[in-house]
Amino acid sequence: KSVCNDCGLCIERCQFGAWEFDEDDVVFNIDHCFGCGLCVSSCPAGAVSLVKR
């Protein structure tokens, strides 16, 4: 979170709804994530990464 600048690109790019705004912060819902990686490649701050489950 300390690297995230709340730009919202992850929210725009995620077609599964895993990212959303909660008040002024971007939050992640792992139950909606399909691991496609679009959020990782679209994050200009490098704040998103994928971890194998």
Instruction: Give the domain CATH number at 33.
Output: 3.30.70.20
Listed in sequence order, the residues at least 6 apart from 4 whose beta carbon sits closer than 8 Å to its beta carbon are: 26, 43, 45, 47, 48
**Helix residue ranges, H only, 7-46:** 9-13, 38-42
1 has pLDDT over 80? no
| Residue 52: per-residue pLDDT | 82
- Nearest CA to 24 out of 3, 47, 4, 48 is that of 4
| Domain with 15 in it | 1-53
| Residue 51: per-residue pLDDT | 87
As for how many domains the chain has, the answer is 1
Segment 3-41, tens digit of pLDDT: 999 999 999 999 999 999 998 889 999 999 999 999 999
**What average pLDDT does this structure show over 43-47?**
96
**What's the CA gap between 7 and 26, in Å, rounded?**
8
